[in-house]
Amino acid sequence: MQTLTETGKKALFGLLRAPFVNRWMVRPLRRFPRLMSLPYVKRFPIVGQISTQGFGLPEILFESDGRDSIATLMYWSGLERFEPETIPVFLAFANRSKVVLDIGANSGIYSLITAASRNPGQVIYCFEPIPEIFRALKNNAEINHFSSIVPICAALTDYDGEIELYLPKDLAFPTSSSTMKGFREAGKVLTCRACKLDTFAAQAGIQAVDLLKIDTEATEPAVLVGASQVLRNYRPWIVSEVLMGKTEAALERQLGPLGYQYFLITPHGLTRKRNIAGDAKCGNYAFIPEEAVDEAVSMVEALSGVH
């Protein structure tokens, strides 16, 4: 049984997401800088279509029913407040990539910024297993008229079939869901499609993979196990979340024998690491094939002005 507090939070969240109430409350908030400085104001859910720009990209649209926390962040703070150290690096890599895979796509922020850069002939395959978030992802691609985005409702892992996804008790989209049991407290278990990247690439007739972005809440190593042929044959560059004390050793077991080098993504650019070690402030790494390290480092330095 829900506690009164939980019931009250749910009712309040539902009220704030009602379109008329949302419009009536949001517009005045933006007119008062003192209110905007309060941290809880920027968590106020946003309903409707949201426009954002940043990193030299043209306008990107999101559409939200109030549950998309990334769209809410875009409205209140702008694109450049979302993973500001990682997006420039990712964009530098995406600009030289024809085939990009966004694994754990959420409502599509990385896929959308890739498509917005308008690299001719580029294809972006994005994987999101939660149906309600997948619908938002697909809709965001459509309202931006980004035909280069190909959404797939599935979880990439180390086998083909079905997998259980553990969803937290979130009022907003359950973006911290994981296929790792016990990773976080689960409020709901969802069975979804599972597949290996190797299988998907073969079935889709993909002849090259240039860039992977992986954010699957502690199951990134399993994604790489299922992508062993893709890694060997195509040598993609990888931008991946690394969780302290959880995924470092398993990631090294997959990437080390393949000759990948490890770079922590920081506000100052790429920092080479001898071993993969999670960082409390910077959660993402770039994994680069050894033969492409000089190119990758030069590309990031040119983009960010780091010398």
Burial per residue of 119-137, b for 16 or more beta-carbon CB atoms within 10 angstroms, e otherwise? beebbbbbbbbbeebbebb
Q: What is the pLDDT of residue 77?
A: 87
Both tokens of 158, joined, read 């180390």
Q: What is the pLDDT of residue 4?
A: 55
Show the DSSP H helices in 149-195 as ranges: none
Distance CA 3, CA 5 (A): 5
Q: What is the pLDDT of residue 30?
A: 72
Q: What is the pLDDT of residue 34?
A: 66
Q: What is the pLDDT of residue 189?
A: 93
Distance CA 74, CA 91 (A): 18
The residues spanned by each domain of the chain are 4-79, 83-163+189-304
Q: What is the pLDDT of residue 41?
A: 73
Q: What is the pLDDT of residue 252?
A: 97
Q: What is the pLDDT of residue 13?
A: 87
Distance of CA 75 to the CA centre of its chain: 18
Residue 256, SS3? helix
Q: What are the DSSP E strand ranges found in 169-283?
A: 188-195, 211-214, 237-241, 260-266, 269-273
Distance CA 176, CA 156 (A): 16
The answer to whether the beta carbons of residues 137 and 110 sit under 8 Å apart is no
Please give the average pLDDT of every successive group of 10 residues along the chain, which has 307 residues: 69 85 80 68 87 94 95 91 94 96 97 95 97 97 98 98 92 87 85 97 97 96 98 98 95 97 95 95 96 94 62
Neighbouring residues of 65: CB distance < 8 A, sequence distance ≥ 6:
17, 47
Q: What is the pLDDT of residue 170?
A: 82
CATH superfamily of 83-163+189-304: Vaccinia Virus protein VP39 (3.40.50.150)
| CB count in 10 Å sphere of residue 179 | 22
Q: What is the pLDDT of residue 58?
A: 95
Distance CA 123, CA 151 (A): 11
Q: What is the pLDDT of residue 186?
A: 80
Distance CA 181, CA 154 (A): 18
Q: What is the pLDDT of residue 27?
A: 77
Distance CA 230, CA 234 (A): 6
Neighbouring residues of 20: CB distance < 8 A, sequence distance ≥ 6:
none
Show the DSSP H helices in the chain as ranges: 4-16, 19-30, 33-36, 69-77, 86-94, 109-116, 131-143, 197-204, 220-225, 228-234, 248-255, 293-304
The answer to whether the beta carbons of residues 32 and 25 sit under 8 Å apart is no
- Record the pTM: 0.93
Q: What is the pLDDT of residue 204?
A: 96
What single letter denotes the amino acid at residue 139?
Answer: N
DSSP for 89-116, please give it.
HHHHHHTT-SEEEEES-TTSHHHHHHHH
Residue closest to 116 by CA, chosen among 37, 62, 66, 174: 62
Residue closest to 220 by CA, chosen among 76, 79, 56, 101: 101
Rounded to the nearest 10 degrees, the angle between the axes of helix 109-116 and helix 86-94 is 50
